Amino acid sequence: MPRVAADFTESYIKGLKPMAKQYVKSSRGLKIIVYPSGSKSWSFYVTAPDGVRTEHSIGTYPSISYKEARAIATKLHGDMIKEGQGISSNKKLMSFREYISSPQYLNWSKTNRKAHKSIMDNLYNVIPEWFHNRPINSFTNKEFQRFVDERISSGVKPQTINRNLNNIRSVFKHAFNQNILKENPMSRFKQLKTVDEKEKLAFTDDERIRLLKVARDSNYEQAHKRKHMEFFVELGLYCGLRKAEITKLKWGDFVCPTMKTSEFPEEIFNDGVKRIVQLQERTVTQMTVDSIKNKTEFEYEEDGKLIWYIETGGDTKSNKSRKIPVPTHLVIRIRQYLWLREYKNIEMRYKDCLMPDDNMNVIRQNNPTAMNVFDDISIIPYDDPKNSWRTIHKLAGLPKLATIHTLRHDFCTQKIKQGVDIYTVQRLAGHADIRTTMNYLHNLQETDFSALDNLEYNYLADPE
C-alpha cells in the first residue's frame, strides 16, 4: 500500500524531530526538510507542461510559518504560470538577505550612497531574521506592517521606523529597477504619521551651565561611575561629534602638530638608560612658585588656543574624514582621567611606570619609555552611554526634547551664532549636504533679534 503524505499543520511541523540523516516531509507540493542539526527549511515543487519537475527554496522555519510558506508557494506558483516562465527552471528564489548581500546590490550602494556603511548596518542589524529569510518577490503590505508593528511594540519611535522603512524601500526600488521584481511591493506602503516634535537645536545658556555642572560634579550619588560623561558631554558641545564618533574615540585620534620628541634629561635618573619623551611645544609667559605647597605653576602663551585636534576616520555618517579642534583644557583633563582610570592595568604591564608624557607615552623608572601605550584605549568605556545620559539629563533638569544629539546641534548653533561661516561649520560638523547646516542658520534667524538692538521705536510713542 503506497505511503500517504501527512497533512501539514503548524503543530505537526513544530513536532518534527531531527534524525541522524536529513529527511523530507511533503504535502500538496510543499516540502519541509529537517536537518540533523535540528534546523528546518521550506521548498515547493511544480511540474511544467513538458513534465519537468523543479524545486524552489522558500526559506527557513520558524522564520516562515507553515501558513506563510503555503501562501508564498501559492503566490509564486501562480506568478510563474501567469508569466509563463521560471516553471521549468531550477533557479533558486533569492531571499531578502541574499539580495542585499549580492555584488549587484552592494556595488550599486557603494557607488551611489555616501552613507552606504550605516545603511547596510541598519539593514543587517535592525531587520529581523524572518524578514531576511523571505524570498524577495513574495513580500506584500502584510509583511511590512508586521515589521512596523514589531518595531512599535519594542518602543521604537515612528521617526526611526520611517528611516528603517526608507532603507528597506531602497532595496525593493533597486530590485524593481533591475527587473528582478515585476512590481515594487512597497509602492503602496505609506510612512508612519509622526508627531511634529523636533530635537532642540540648542541649549539655553542656563541649560548648558547646568548640564556641564552635573556632568563634572563628583558629589552626586554614583558619580564616580559616570566620570566619563564629563568628557562625553564636552566632546559633543565643544567638538560637535556624533554619539558613535565619541564612543569610538581613542587617545590615538588626538593630534598635536606642535608635539616634539626629545631625549629625557639623563641627569634625572643618571642610570645610563636612554628615554625619549614627547612634549607639546609651549612658550612660558609667567611662572608662579608656591613655596608653601612646593608647587610651580606656569602660564603659557598657547593657553586658550586651539592647537590639538581630533582626526576622525571615514566611517562616519557622511563617510568623510575631518579634523576637529579640541580645547587644550579638555585634552589635559582627558589625559589625567585616562591615567587614573587605566593606572592599575598599566602598572601590571610596566611595574616601574612613573608618569605619562604629553602624548600619553609611559615614562619608566628603570627602562626606556613605553611608546604608544594609550593609542588604542577608548576615551569612553561604554558603547552606549544612554543610561548615564538619562541620569544627568534628569539631574540637570533638561527638557524632554534635549537628547544626546542636542550636544551636536548646540555645537553647530553656537558656531553660527559666533559668526563662523556656514561652510566652515559644515566642514567641522561633517555634513554631506550644506542644506543640513542651513537648518541651524534658519533656526537662529527665527529667534535672534540682535540686529534690531540699536533700532529706535519712537514711532510707537504717543503723538503729542
Contacts of residue 439, defined as CB under 8 A and 6 or more positions apart, other chains included, come to: 201
Residues in the chain: 464
As a whole number, the mean pLDDT across the chain is: 84
The stretch 205-232 carries a mean pLDDT of 94
pLDDT category of residue 63 using cuts at 50, 70 and 90: confident
Out of 24-28, 50-54, 85-89, 432-436, pick the least confident: 85-89
Q: What is the pLDDT of residue 461?
A: 46
CA angle centred on 164, ends 161 and 167, rounded to 5°: 155
Q: Report the C-alpha gap between 96 and 368 in whole angstroms.
A: 56
The stretch 57-73 carries a mean pLDDT of 83
Task: Say what percent of the chain tops pLDDT 70.
Answer: 83
The stretch 75-102 carries a mean pLDDT of 66
Nearest to 61 by CA among 45, 77, 38: 38
Q: What is the pLDDT of residue 464?
A: 47
C-beta separation of 324 from 312 below 8 A: yes
pLDDT at 460 over 50: no
pLDDT at 455 over 80: no
pLDDT at 70 over 90: no
pLDDT at 314 over 50: yes
Higher pLDDT, 423 or 298: 423
pLDDT at 351 over 50: yes
For 201, other C-beta atoms within 10 Å of its C-beta total 19
The stretch 68-74 carries a mean pLDDT of 82
CA angle centred on 70, ends 65 and 71, rounded to 5°: 100
Cα dist from 225 to 167, 336, 338, 381, 382, whole Å: 37, 16, 14, 10, 11
Nearest to 127 by CA among 171, 83, 84: 171
Q: What is the pLDDT of residue 87?
A: 38
pLDDT at 296 over 90: no
C-beta separation of 436 from 419 below 8 A: no
The stretch 116-124 carries a mean pLDDT of 91
Q: Report the C-alpha gap between 348 and 357 in whole angstroms.
A: 19
Nearest to 245 by CA among 175, 297, 171, 321: 321
Q: Report the C-alpha gap between 263 and 259 in whole angstroms.
A: 13
pLDDT at 271 over 70: yes
Out of 27-41, 347-361, 446-460, pick the least confident: 446-460
Q: What is the pLDDT of residue 90?
A: 43
Q: What is the pLDDT of residue 89?
A: 41
Q: What is the pLDDT of residue 172?
A: 94
pLDDT at 458 over 50: no
The stretch 248-256 carries a mean pLDDT of 94
For 433, other C-beta atoms within 10 Å of its C-beta total 10
Q: Report the C-alpha gap between 229 and 217 in whole angstroms.
A: 11
Phi and psi at residue 38, to the nearest 5°: 100, -10
One-letter amino acid identity for 198?
K
The stretch 240-248 carries a mean pLDDT of 93
Beta-bridge partners for 290:
295
How many Cα atoms within 13 Å fall on the side-chain side of residue 19? 9
- SS3 assignment, position 1: coil
- Taking 3-state DSSP, the helix, strand and coil percentages for the chain, each rounded to the nearest 5, stand at 45, 15, 40
Instruction: Report, in angstroms and rounded to the nearest whole number, the Rg of the chain calculated over CA atoms.
Output: 31
Out of 104-113, 127-136, 140-149, 197-206, pick the least confident: 197-206
Q: Report the C-alpha gap between 387 and 393 in whole angstroms.
A: 10
C-beta separation of 62 from 134 below 8 A: no
Q: What is the pLDDT of residue 150?
A: 93
What are the pLDDT digits (tens) for 121-173? Answer: 999 999 999 999 888 988 989 899 999 999 999 888 888 899 999 999 999 99
